[in-house]
Amino acid sequence: MKQKILFGTLLIASLGTVSLAFAQQTTTPPLPPQATEFYTPIPPKVTPGAMNHQAPSDAIVLFDGSSLSNFVSAKDGSSPAPWKIEQGELVVQKGTGDIQSKLSFGDAQYHIEWSAPTEIVGEGQGRGNSGFFLMGLYEVQILDSYESKTYTNGQAGSIYKQYPPLVNPLRGPGDWNYYDIIFKAPRFDKNGMLTSPATVTVMINGVLVQNNVTLKGPTEYIGIPNYKAHADALPIKLQDHSNPVRFRNIWVRPL
């Protein structure tokens, strides 16, 4: 009996020694708090817009109500943009075609404000339809789907025919909606193979509707989307879908 107790005591003592040695081997000395505090590079200072939706100091303003000088017709990419400015608001002119920015963009943050026509005409995709095309290829839908039914992946805030919006935070015809969009352009290798698809995050009126979704390719009206290699930066496009949608405050921050 005595032997058993002695053996037990020795076993516990030796296990204790082993675990102590293990603990000594794996414990690192405590870090000072400064070890995880970094001072460079310093994030650039940006002055926020005076009002909520005005452009921050480092944005490129594409439309501020004064002129269409930053846009051209998308028909030929060079002739003057054929839409009208009325009281500082850009109005789609039916039948004149899409317009596109003179500058090209890849990864970028966008802000855009739009308002559906107060005179309600049509329904579904025929009511207050326009679109904001990232790189001229990937459409974030603009549509008066405030109280008008259509396919969910075609309503306002959808990535057209790819992703419906998570919610519908739209304001009604005549009121202003604002989109904040964060876009990562797709990457292609030198052989034109897709190495990284595009992703996009969209907020409507400050409410998240697309949470970093992965685009399946250019947004198509008919058929399955498929990537085709293109430039690292391309103009954005605004759609003429025959409805007099109005725009104001369009700015971009290339990333």
Stretch 111-130: interaction string toward Mg ion, x if CB under 5 A: ------------------x-
The least CB distance from residue 37 to Mg ion, in Å, is 48
Tell me phi and psi for residue 200, to 5 degrees: -150, 140
Q: How far is CA 207 from the centre of its chain?
A: 12
Site for Mg ion in 51-110 (CB under 5 A): none
The least CB distance from residue 109 to Mg ion, in Å, is 21
Stretch 174-203: interaction string toward Mg ion, x if CB under 5 A: ------------------------------
The least CB distance from residue 34 to Mg ion, in Å, is 53
| Residue (of 181, 205, 204) closest to 59 by Cα position | 181
Of 54 and 153, which CB lies nearer to Mg ion in the complex structure?
153
Burial (CB count within 10 angstroms: exposed 0-12, middle 13-18, buried 19+), residue 92: buried
Q: Is 244 in the site for Mg ion (CB under 5 A)?
A: no
Q: How far is CA 208 from the centre of its chain?
A: 10
The least CB distance from residue 126 to Mg ion, in Å, is 11
CA distances from 90 to 24, 43, 143, 211 (A): 71, 34, 16, 29
Of 92 and 185, which CB lies nearer to Mg ion in the complex structure?
92
| Residue (of 131, 227, 224) closest to 186 by Cα position | 227
- Residue 126, sorted as left (phi over 0), alpha (psi -120 to 50) or beta, turns out to be alpha
Residue nearest to Mg ion (CB): 131
The least CB distance from residue 130 to Mg ion, in Å, is 6
The least CB distance from residue 144 to Mg ion, in Å, is 11
Q: Which stretch binds Mg ion (CB under 5 A): 42-50, 106-114, 225-233, 237-245?
A: 237-245
Q: Which stretch binds Mg ion (CB under 5 A): 25-33, 61-69, 179-187, 239-247?
A: 239-247
Give how many residues touch Mg ion by CB under 5 A: 3
Of 129 and 249, which CB lies nearer to Mg ion in the complex structure?
129
The least CB distance from residue 220 to Mg ion, in Å, is 12
Of 117 and 131, which CB lies nearer to Mg ion in the complex structure?
131
Which residues face 237 on adjacent strands?
100, 133
Dist CA 124 CA 94 (whole Å): 18
- b/e per residue 150-159 (b: at least 16 CB within 10 A): beeebbbbbb
Q: Which stretch binds Mg ion (CB under 5 A): 45-53, 87-95, 233-241, 246-254?
A: 233-241
- Residue 161, sorted as left (phi over 0), alpha (psi -120 to 50) or beta, turns out to be left
Q: Is 131 in the site for Mg ion (CB under 5 A)?
A: yes
* Residues in touch with Mg ion (CB under 5 A): 129, 131, 239
